[in-house]
């Protein structure tokens, strides 16, 4: 018999398969205090939570029999995934269960925005019969720009087409063929800004998407554009949105998510042209039943058939395998993050992975998944993990190839990763040096020796005297401290690269100044999110 503890307000109907299963005993305690939860958790094999229960390292220390933590929803911010991974506890979620709920809420917000329904309701309910102040607009024949064509963005597009809307879709992984099948037009952000009457966002919140709808974006939009955000707070710069509405350029917005929650900014909450709801995207009876059904079914599969579908981490490896692969897992994730930035943040259509040296004798399946996750995580954020990464690659139409080679590359171990998108490509080679740790030893055709750091400045330039001094002097003028500098070149006097490690990020102004240096071809800041420790989803 397996014992399952359910905390928080989770649908009992959705848990029916667990209650009915002869091998499971289910206890529901929606409002357990932290101390009592810690005292009880030791006797349970599985824990199901929503967002209220905090699954901390301390709680996990007391969970001596726990094998699975299930989040009845998408986000796992309330779970210490890294601590769970260390203890070999699988963390699962229900990533697709709220798709329809979030889609329908987006359409509801768009209609309410177009017809000013909340404002009209409030005035009518107060006793005023005012038909002149709430003249709206139709969706028919209007252009809808969808930023993010994942599951929810795709479902929004299908439904918006039934309103007779013209759809522009932006997504790094949206192919021409998929856009054609959906009956939409593949577009860049600039085209969406220029042509859209309505814009809705459906991307994860990443460094690349944070504030993607900002002052510069609004400056390119039509006057009278309307925006909807039922995805993640922070994708739309709220201050920029208020400025654009106050200037009369943006007609209005409908927000279900906010940069800080609970939302408290009066400029947002009390603006007559902004409709707000308290993060209700997944708050339907059906969605809450579906998330409970999904995690219940997966808990049964994990215990009965050892089948895992939606884990956000991996069980702990044996000590021997862990000792061998640990440094490569961290390095592999870093390589993936770096190479997608070197590809100018485009989504790749093909990925090649080559292993050399000692690595050809190891089981590199987990390492391969780690490399691939590093690449996809740039655009897909925490929606990609080591379990679903191969499925997401297939879903996005990205092919990958893995080869193990006996050729000598000059290192005891060596990994090489390359990505291709049309005529563009990028390549990174890396190794783990005994006593020195991880090193990036090749970028494209150039040999270098760089320790992965949080902030790396990548510069491509002509190999001419004085270039290093000019770069160092300019960074000094901006109070940028250089940790290390490595230079690589293919031939004397030709093109070369510089890679500098920095103590902090540099801004767009510094990058612009660098490109004004004569002979400097390109300057790009590369950022890593996992320098000190493995992120959630990896074995430590």
**Sign of torsion, CA 241 154 418 411?**
positive
Q: Which of 225, 213, 224, 202 is nearest to 156 (CA)?
A: 202
Given 50, 71, 279, 354, which residue is catalytic? 279
Can you tell me the distance from the alpha carbon of 445 to that of 448, in angstroms, rounded to the nearest whole number? 10
DSSP letter at 519 equals T
Strands across the sheet containing 68-71: 24-28, 2-6, 46-49, 68-71, 90-92
H-type alpha helices, 91-214: 99-115, 117-125, 151-162, 176-182, 189-195
Can you tell me the distance from the alpha carbon of 116 to that of 119, in angstroms, rounded to the nearest whole number? 6
CA torsion 527→337→329→371, rounded to 10°? Answer: 180
Per the annotation, the verdict on 261 as an active-site residue is yes
Residue 343 neighbours by CB under 8 Å, 6+ apart: 419, 421, 424, 425, 426
DSSP letter at 311 equals B
Can you tell me the distance from the alpha carbon of 411 to that of 333, in angstroms, rounded to the nearest whole number? 20
Residue 129's SS3 state is coil
Instruction: Give the distance between the most distant pair of CA atoms in the chain.
Output: 83
Per the annotation, the verdict on 128 as an active-site residue is no
Per the annotation, the verdict on 67 as an active-site residue is no
Residue 246 neighbours by CB under 8 Å, 6+ apart: none
Given 261, 304, 395, 518, which residue is catalytic? 261
Given 232, 354, 373, 489, which residue is catalytic? 232
Residue 135 neighbours by CB under 8 Å, 6+ apart: none
For tokens 């199901």, what's the residue? 48
Tokens of 209: 């998407």
Q: How many CA atoms lie within 13 A of 246 on its CB side?
A: 11
503, 509 contact by CB (below 8 A):
no
Residue 523's SS3 state is strand
Tell me the catalytic residues: 232, 261, 279
């Amino acid at each position: 018999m397996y014992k399952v503890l359910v905390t928080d307000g989770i649908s009992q109907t959705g848990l029916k398969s667990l209650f009915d299963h002869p091998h499971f005993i289910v206890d529901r305690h929606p409002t357990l205090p932290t101390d009592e939860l810690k005292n009880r958790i030791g006797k349970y094999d599985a824990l199901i939570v929503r967002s209220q229960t905090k699954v901390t390292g301390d709680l996990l220390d007391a969970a001596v029999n726990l094998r699975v933590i299930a989040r009845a929803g998408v986000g796992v911010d309330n779970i210490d995934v890294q601590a769970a991974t260390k203890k070999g506890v699988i963390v699962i979620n229900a990533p697709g269960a709220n798709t329809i709920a979030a889609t329908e809420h987006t359409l509801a917000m768009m209609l309410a925005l177009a017809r000013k329904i909340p404002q009209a309701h409030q005035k009518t309910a107060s006793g005023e019969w005012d038909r002149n102040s709430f003249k709206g607009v139709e969706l028919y024949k209007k252009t809808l720009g969808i930023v993010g064509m994942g599951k929810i963005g795709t479902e929004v597009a299908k439904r918006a087409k039934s309103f007779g809307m013209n759809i522009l879709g932006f997504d790094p992984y949206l192919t021409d063929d998929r856009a054609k099948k959906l009956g939409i037009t593949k577009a860049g952000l600039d085209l969406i800004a220029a042509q859209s009457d309505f814009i809705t966002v459906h991307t994860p919140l990443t460094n690349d998407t944070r504030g993607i709808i900002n002052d510069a974006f609004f400056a390119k939009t039509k006057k009278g554009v309307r925006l909807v955000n039922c995805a993640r707070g922070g994708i739309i710069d709220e201050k920029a949105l208020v400025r654009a509405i106050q200037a009369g350029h943006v007609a209005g917005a409908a927000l279900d998510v906010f940069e800080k929650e609970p939302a408290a900014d009066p400029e947002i909450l009390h603006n007559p042209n902004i409709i707000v709801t308290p993060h209700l995207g997944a708050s339907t009876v059906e969605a809450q039943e579906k998330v409970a059904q999904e995690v219940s079914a997966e808990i049964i599969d994990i215990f009965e058939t050892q089948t895992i579908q939606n884990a956000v981490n991996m069980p702990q490896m044996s000590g021997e395998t862990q000792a061998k692969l640990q440094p490569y897992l961290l390095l592999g994730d870093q390589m993936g993050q770096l190479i997608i930035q070197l590809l100018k943040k485009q989504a790749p259509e093909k990925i090649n992975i080559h292993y050399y040296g000692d690595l050809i004798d190891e089981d590199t399946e987990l390492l391969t998944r780690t490399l691939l996750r590093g690449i996809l995580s740039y655009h897909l954020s925490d929606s990609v993990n080591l379990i679903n990464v191969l499925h997401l690659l297939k879903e996005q139409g990205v092919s990958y190839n893995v080869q193990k080679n006996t050729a000598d590359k000059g290192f005891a171990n060596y990994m090489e990763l390359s990505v291709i998108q049309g005529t563009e490509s990028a390549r990174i080679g890396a190794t783990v040096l005994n006593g020195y740790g991880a090193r990036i030893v090749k970028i494209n055709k150039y040999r270098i020796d760089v320790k992965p750091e949080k902030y790396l400045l990548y510069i491509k330039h002509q190999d001419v005297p004085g270039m290093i001094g000019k770069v160092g002097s300019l960074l000094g003028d901006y109070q940028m401290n250089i940790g290390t500098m490595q230079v690589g070149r293919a031939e004397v006097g030709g093109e070369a690269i510089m890679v500098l490690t920095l103590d902090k990020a540099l801004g767009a102004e510094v990058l612009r100044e660098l490109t004004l240096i004569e002979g400097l071809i390109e300057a790009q800041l590369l950022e890593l999110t996992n320098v000190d420790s493995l992120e959630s989803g990896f074995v430590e």
